[in-house]
Each structure stands twice: as structure tokens, then as C-alpha cells.
A = this chain, B = another copy of it.
């Protein structure tokens, strides 16, 4: 009897009419990775640089949406400055692999068309997010990898660079310290204690809702410091790191990629909304704070739903994040 009552209640709640009038004209949410962010090692200057980087991304995406541009264009516009910023682990500033090269992954999905594109393991594409979008728009495929993906990007006229373009002294020192500790500890993938941002799942991403009600999501990353064996994380995996569906939401993840792949995190947010009638916040929180946390899977995600609600849960001590709405509301956050 009690169950029937609850069910009726759920039915009534789920029948609450949508309020499109309340939907903001546009919404943009971005992230620059989640991890253990050590305040004691974070100088005010460095924090200001991170904030400025996030602000630049928000501004770029907002300009597109304000001008009536598409969610896809806004996602790309927001991610480009993050890829160009050496502070974030994507594009310029990407972390080093075990072999001291840089290998980049990215993915893109349109909630309007259900089309998607992804590239993995590319070493010479200056803006991986652009390549992922090109795969979506200009190829019959969804995922291209390695030198094949690079050849495709070149055919598409994207800007190509030497792998050394991605080199930064900071990332090299980071790898060197990790390799030195690895040699001592006989363990792989140790963390770097001298970084203010530790155990960082360095990834950047953006999700957007445009004035036409269309959603889009994109994610770009350099992957894991000291990664080897051609390791691919969740960022280029549609369903794991990135997902968008106009019927539900757009999601971009940042976390310990293996957990995100196994739990198909980005799609699961959408599935819980679609099949269970969960709100975006509930669906996102359950995955980040319950499913992943129980498994030891650290990270977070950003999401926007079709009605303009946003969610930015993370189970680490910090996540570089920000959002802006057409209402003028905006915020940038780093810590809990």
C-alpha cells in the first residue's frame, strides 16, 4: 500500500508540467579537471591564473551563445582557450607519456543530431577538440585513432604542429619527478607531491544549451602523466567521458578514466534521467558520490539538462569549473 502511495506521488511529481518560460536562453558549463588541489601549494598568483583561464573560456563560449550561436560552436569556443592554456592538461600543456611524448584525446557530441566524433592518441593536432568535431561532421566514422586520425585532421585543413609544440618545462619536470620516484618505489603512475594540483585528472570540457534548445558536449585531454602502452582514458569514449542528447542532458567528465569507462558515466546520467525520471542533479550525484565513490573512482563531471539546470558534482577536494547563464548568473569555483 505504501509503495502504491509512493508510486502515485512519483507519478504526480513527474507530471509537473515543464516550465519552458523559466528556461534560460542559454547555459554554458566548463571544467578544467578535478583532483587533490592543495591549497598550501597554490599561490594566490597561480590561483588567479587558473581563474583567468576559466574566465577566458566562459567568455569565449558566452560570446557565441549571446550572438545566437549553436551549442556546438559554444562548446568548441570554450574549449579552444583551455587547449591553448599551458595550465590545463589538454593541447598545449598536456602531460607527458612515459616516453616523454604527448598524446591527445578528445570527443564531441551533438544532442540535436545524436552525431559524435572522437580522436585518440594524436601527437600533432594543435586543437584536438576541433579534430573530434571534424570527425563528427565530416566523416562517416565516430572514432579515429593515432596516425590515421592525424592524417584525417590534416586532410580537413586543421592546424598541425610538431609534438614538441606541446612541450612545457613544468610537465617535463613533473614526469621526471614521477619517474625518479617510480625507480625508487618500483611502482607505476605515482603521483607528484610537488604539484599544487595532485592526483589531477587533467581534462578540460564544456557543455552548452543554446537558445534553440539544443545541447552539446565536448572533452579534451592529454591523459595521464606517465601513461604507457597507448593507454586511452574516458575522454575520447562516447558514453564514458562525453554524451549529449536533446531529450535529457549534455555531460563532460573528468576523473580516473578507467572507472568512467567501466561505469559508462556520461551516458548513465542521461539513462537515469530518461528511464528513472531522475533530475540531473540526482542522477549526477548518485554516480559521482555513490557509484564511483564506493569503487574508489575519483573525479567529477559537469552537465546541463534540456531545461537549463546544471550539475557540477565531484568527489575530489577540488574541480576547476565555471558556468554562465543568459540570466547573467555566473560563477567560477576551484575547491569544495
How many whole Å from A232's CB to the nearest CB in chain B?
Answer: 4
With A8-B4, A142-B261, A261-B143 as known contacts, state yes or no: A230 contacts B276, CB within 8 Å.
Answer: no
Interface contact B229-A151, CB-CB below 8 Å: yes
Interface contact B146-A230, CB-CB below 8 Å: yes
How many whole Å from A227's CB to the nearest CB in chain B?
Answer: 8
Number of copies: 2
Tell me if A243 counts as interface (CB < 8 A to partner B).
yes
Chain B residues lying within 8 Å of A4, measured Cβ to Cβ, are 4, 7-8, 11
Q: Which of B3, B146, B147, B230 sits near A144, CB closer than 8 Å?
A: B230
Interface contact B142-A262, CB-CB below 8 Å: yes
Assembly CA distance A8 to B5 (angstroms): 10
How many whole Å from A179's CB to the nearest CB in chain B?
Answer: 17
Chain A positions 134 through 145: 1 when the CB is less than 8 Å from some CB of chain B, otherwise 0: 000001111111
Interface size on A, residues (CB 8 A): 50
With A11-B4, A115-B262, A264-B239 as known contacts, state yes or no: A230 contacts B145, CB within 8 Å.
Answer: yes
Chain B residues lying within 8 Å of A144, measured Cβ to Cβ, are 229-232
Chain B residues lying within 8 Å of A243, measured Cβ to Cβ, are 264
Interface contact A149-B230, CB-CB below 8 Å: yes
Assembly CA distance A263 to B64 (angstroms): 28
Chain B residues lying within 8 Å of A272, measured Cβ to Cβ, are 275
**Which A residues between 99 and 143 are near B, CB-CB below 8 angstroms?**
109, 114-116, 120-121, 139-143
Question: What would be 18 A-B contacts, judged by CB atoms less than 8 Å apart?
Answer: A7-B7, A7-B8, A7-B11, A115-B262, A120-B232, A121-B145, A142-B261, A144-B230, A144-B232, A145-B146, A145-B231, A237-B237, A237-B238, A237-B239, A239-B261, A272-B275, A275-B276, A276-B276
| 14 further contact pairs, Cβ within 8 A, besides A143-B231, A275-B275 | A4-B4, A114-B262, A141-B229, A141-B232, A142-B258, A143-B233, A143-B237, A145-B231, A146-B146, A148-B228, A239-B240, A243-B264, A267-B268, A267-B271
